[in-house]
Amino acid sequence: MPPPPKVAKTHTSHLSTCPGPERCLSCRLFLENPGGFCPGCSEEYRARCLKSECWLHCKFCSGGRHAATTGCCGRAPRIRRRRWSDLALAKMPPYQPRRLEIRCHLIPVIHSVAKYRIPEKFPQIDAWAVPVHKVMRKDGSLPERDLKSDYGLLPHQKLILSTSAPDDYQELLWKGFPDLDLSQIGVDLCFPGHFSIYDDDSMMMQFANARRQQLHALWIRSPFVWFRLGEHIPLEFMEPVRRAPAVLIATGQMYRRRNVQILRQEVRTAKAWFPPESDFFFVGGLGHLKGIDFGERRLYQFNSSWLLRGLRGHDMRRNRVKKKTMERGMLLAEILKDFTEHWHIIFGPFLVLVVLFARG
């Protein structure tokens, strides 16, 4: 086994001794590769190895360290990588579902506050969203109750199941198809699985998950499709969903400046590439998109800020509100009312051309 390269200065640099053959003999990558050795060492892989983070602990290994995706690991045996490469290259037919008709451009995310029956107080908001991890159990089963009735949605209000959730739930949705019947819990529409495409993931994982997002939309006949390119996915890879009427763009978890730059470039690309009749649905905050002109395109936002502020006992201006002063249900209703009335201040100047409620 060749001597390992020098370890970069990281939080693991104090572990200077490579475990070598003693550790390799307990590693399935070492044992299952035809040559008996993994394809090679690098500073990043060696740092993980020193922390005992190898294929045996795949939730922390290659795949971005976000989910159990051992087949995407560059050091995994070829036979384990094959199914991921086959998935990335899977044929995807053109997909063009029917256009959504949602009048209110603010779509509140709701959970944990069913007893307040907030939607009843806002009949003008005709679509609400609930995150899948607030509904689905960790074994993949669904609650035996009608969520629309629980939360107080009126007959004309749609309930959308959002897959903006931890990776484990995306895998449950993937494995659960086609046995999951969302209509039994009152869900009208559903996002396709939001299989993560992180900028620090391996290229194979990014391609495989981008294709899974498309395939899942096709399988469940979702009107939505996710748009995410990262640094490696070419635009032509998204061609099968180019005519989709509802394009989801995640704007949250932008921890670094580079992530924001990639997001802004992706949004500009989407604006130029998708036809004008495709509506954009932003999942998360909109502060990173200031200055981008969307023209006459219809824009929507899935907003959870109103709910988080209310659950924390804060008002619109993030001032603390005591329960004695205002009951939580009233506080939540007041915050959401402020969001709908002052949307042009919250959303920023780039949405000046959008009206909160569709014309007419």
Nearest alpha carbon to residue 48 among 37, 56, 40, 60: 60
pLDDT at residue 140 in the model: 87
Mean pLDDT over each residue of the chain, to the nearest integer: 77
pLDDT at residue 175 above 50? yes
Q: Tens digit of pLDDT for each residue in 31-42?
A: 655 444 444 455
pTM: 0.75
| Positive or negative: CA dihedral 84, 85, 87, 88 | positive
349, with CB counted inside 10 A (0-12, 13-18, 19+), is exposed
Per-residue pLDDT, averaged over 50-54, amounts to: 50
pLDDT at res. 350: 43
pLDDT the model gives residue 177? 76
Q: Identify the residue with better confidence: 359 or 198.
A: 198
Query: What is d(CA 210, CA 206) in angstroms, rounded to the nearest whole number?
Result: 6
Token pair listed for 83: 């199914």
pLDDT value, residue 27: 60
CA angle, 107 as apex, 127 and 290 as ends, to 5°? 155
Predicted pLDDT at 7: 33
pLDDT tens for residues 77-123? 444 455 666 777 788 888 989 889 999 999 999 999 999 999 999 99
Residue 283 has pLDDT above 60, yes or no: yes
Model pLDDT, residue 200: 65
Return the minimum-mean-pLDDT range out of 16-20, 160-164, 214-218, 287-291: 16-20
- Using a pLDDT cut of 70, give the percent of the chain over it: 69
